[in-house]
Amino acid sequence: MNESGLAQQLLNLIGGKQNINQVWHCATRLRFTLKDRAKVPKDKIEALDGVITVVEASGQFQVVIGNNVGDVYHEVVKLEPSLSEGETSGETAAQGKMTFKSAFNSLLTFISGVFTPFLGAMAGAGILKGLLSLAVVMGWLTAKSGAYQIWWAAADGIFYFLPIALAFTAAKQLKVNQFVSMAIAAAMVSPGIVALGAKATTIDFFGIPVVPANYTATVLPILLVVVVQKFLEPVFNKLWHESVRNIMAPLCLLVVIVPLTLIVVGPISATVSSWLATAIVSLNKSVPILAGLVLGGFWQVIVIFGVHWALVPVMMNNIAQNGTDLMMPILLPAVLSQAGAALAVFLRTRDAKMKSLAGSSTITALFGITEPTIYGITLKLKKPFYLACVAGAVGGMIVVISGAGANAAALASVLSLPTFIGKGFGLSVVGDVVAFALGTVLTYFFGGINAGAKDKTAPSVNSELGEALAAPVKGVLVPLTGLADEVFASETMGKGVAIVPENGMVKAPVAGVIRLLYPTGHAIGIQSDKGSEILIHIGIDTVNLKGKHFQPLVAQGQHVEIGTPLVQFDHEAIEKEGYESTVMMIVTNSDQYQIATLGQGATDDRPVMTLA
């Protein structure tokens, strides 16, 4: 479906301008504040071709489109100009009461949203990482071989430079200069800073001691930095005259934010990481069962906030000092539970795009790369993420009871199992299997995944009775495919007929309920008593007239009979304004029928289509 068709269908399902307080867009989402959420069929919107999913958070109804969201937004505004960004349809946009739950969900939604544009690249790189690890374990390649090093660079690059990619997408969402954000992120992962971070070398910034942290593959630091940029950028834009603003504002942002990041964000990240490592090590020694629950259940949360790297040297030190590390096996259930949740989404959903992403994400998670799974599937859908955490906690506690340990440092994945061979290995495998199976089962049955089932609240189509549609206006019947409007001519929105009007009265072609009535009067939607969904559109591009020459005669929600006057319009005046006045009647759920068009020539409120 093209952007025009998707925008039209979104407006139809949401209830048109009269049900929208405000609409705007970020990098991937159309964000609506609605007057009556109960009127909007979420499942039908999620089923639209071009819609990835629907998210409800912070009082917003968010339709996730992807990279072309801007084009869809512009088509929405073209259909309803009064909904342009920053304007409302007569009421102040509802912000919704801020609660801890809504704030947390908003944070997760934002973090997930910034990953959407490059999930495919992450998934492909994750699979390549897993295959390379398998090749080393099987002896097909060595880590020092040229082929391994080249392919490892291809697989690791997107993860190593993750802050740069995140800077671009986060800046797009927050509407700040994307390339300045990327420049800041590039400074954070520059070779010199990475080397200083690895050695914990203290440097001096005008008397302020700075200990750079390692920001490669981190998520939260750069997101916080872009939020800071959101506040500072308008200040510097106002400071400089427009003749030099494009140069001087970015200069000021780089001069201020990069040191601020290294002085403030770095130490905070390092401190949080140190506290976390100390707490988990102490917990593992004093209350092992609780450590299994925490590590197995919350490890992926720790990964999201980018402070998990503090535990890597702890685990490596344990192996060097004691020959084994007890924490590494506990992490595997956390990983496998996410893989199980992704598998459940793959099995449950009927959305082709989601199924494809869930399938590849299952594989990457099994190989230990959970980012595509978390940000593309489980965290985005929320419930699967929470349920996977529960499954990971159960598996983690079983692994702790086993007493299994890792004898070598490795990425927590199915490929790391050989490093756990020894004491308690068998029971630890049981914990891994339980985590994977439980993550799958819980998500499949309780994950709230839209399986694509028919909306039970919608009236069913009775094909045995069939239905005849009368002409909505008297005039000359012409082929829909011959219209100048590509959306109608391509039958993207459904099959139908077009009529060149001889008068200015549109009447109901069937008995049913008015489900959609544009304030401009140029379009009206009817749901017939037998289940057909009909859109009547008067003229081409007549939305631009903003209601001029149109007079609606019915109200939304009103039941009408065949022949009930719906809209009065002045077709001659419309044509003098330079617009076509052709009336289109579209069956928007035409895929459920066999449709036949009756006759040609002039119509006189007689049947022009049959549905069977």
pTM: 0.47
| pLDDT tens-digit series, residues 298-319 | 888 877 665 665 566 567 556 6
What CA–CA distances, in Å, run from 471 to 145, 181, 540, 584? 74, 57, 18, 10
The Cα angle at residue 415 between residues 413 and 416, in degrees rounded to 5: 70
pLDDT band for position 487 (cuts 50, 70, 90) = low
Distance CA 548, CA 542 (A): 9
Give the tens place of pLDDT for each residue, 13-22. 998 888 888 8
Q: Has residue 101 got a pLDDT over 80?
A: no
Q: For 12-15, which contacts have Cβ atoms below 8 Å and span 24 or more sequence positions?
A: 12/516, 12/525, 12/535, 12/588, 13/40, 13/41, 13/44, 13/45, 13/48, 14/40, 14/45, 14/61, 15/39, 15/40, 15/516, 15/556
Considering only 65-74, 131-140, 374-383, which range has the smallest mean pLDDT? Answer: 65-74
Residue 393 has pLDDT above 90, yes or no: yes
Q: How far apart are CA 38 and CA 459, in angstroms?
A: 16
Write down the pLDDT at residue 91.
34
Let me know if 26 is a catalytic residue. yes
Count CB-CB contacts under 10 A for residue 22.
20
How far is the C-alpha of 31 from the C-alpha of 444, rounded, in Å?
28
The whole-angstrom separation of Cα 437 and Cα 440 is 5
Buried b (16+ CB within 10 A) or exposed e, 557-594: eeebebebebbebebeebeeeebbbbbbbbbbbbeebe
pLDDT of residue 319: 64
Q: Say if CB 222 and CB 163 are below 8 A apart.
A: yes
Mean pLDDT of the chain: 79
Q: Is the pLDDT of residue 86 over 60?
A: no
First to last CA, the chain: 25
Q: Does the pLDDT at position 453 exceed 60?
A: no
124 or 362: which leads in pLDDT: 362
Q: What is the pLDDT of residues 256-300, one digit of tens each?
A: 999 999 988 767 766 776 676 677 667 777 888 888 888 889 888
Provide the pLDDT confidence category of residue 450 given band limits of 50, 70 and 90.
Answer: low
- Mutual angle of helices 383-402 and 425-446, in 10-degree steps: 160
Q: State yes or no: pLDDT of 110 exceeds 70.
A: no
pLDDT reading at 458 higher than 50: no
The model's confidence at residue 67, banded by pLDDT at 50, 70 and 90, is low
What is the rounded distance in angstroms from the CA atom of residue 75 to the CA atom of residue 55? 21
Give the pair of three-digit tokens for residue 515.
């489900």
pLDDT of amino acid 197: 77
Taking the CB of residue 92, how many other CB atoms lie within 10 A of it? 9
- Annotated catalytic residue: which of 26, 252, 308, 389? 26
How confident is the model at residue 475, as a pLDDT?
85
pLDDT digits (tens, 9 = 90+) for 531-551: 788 889 898 878 778 788 898
pLDDT score recorded for residue 499: 87
pLDDT the model gives residue 415: 78
Lowest mean pLDDT among 92-106, 289-303, 388-402, 492-506: 92-106
Question: 549-605 pLDDT, tens per residue?
Answer: 898 888 877 888 888 889 999 988 988 888 888 898 888 777 777 777 766 555 655
Average pLDDT (478-489) is: 72
Task: Round to whole Å and give the CA distance between 43 and 205.
Answer: 55
CA distance 37 to 19: 8
Q: What are phi and psi of 154, to 5 degrees?
A: -65, -40
Query: Residue 549 and residue 588: Cα distance in Å, rounded?
Result: 26
Residue tagged active-site, from 25, 522, 537, 571: 537
Question: What is the radius of gyration, based on Cα positions, of the chain?
Answer: 29
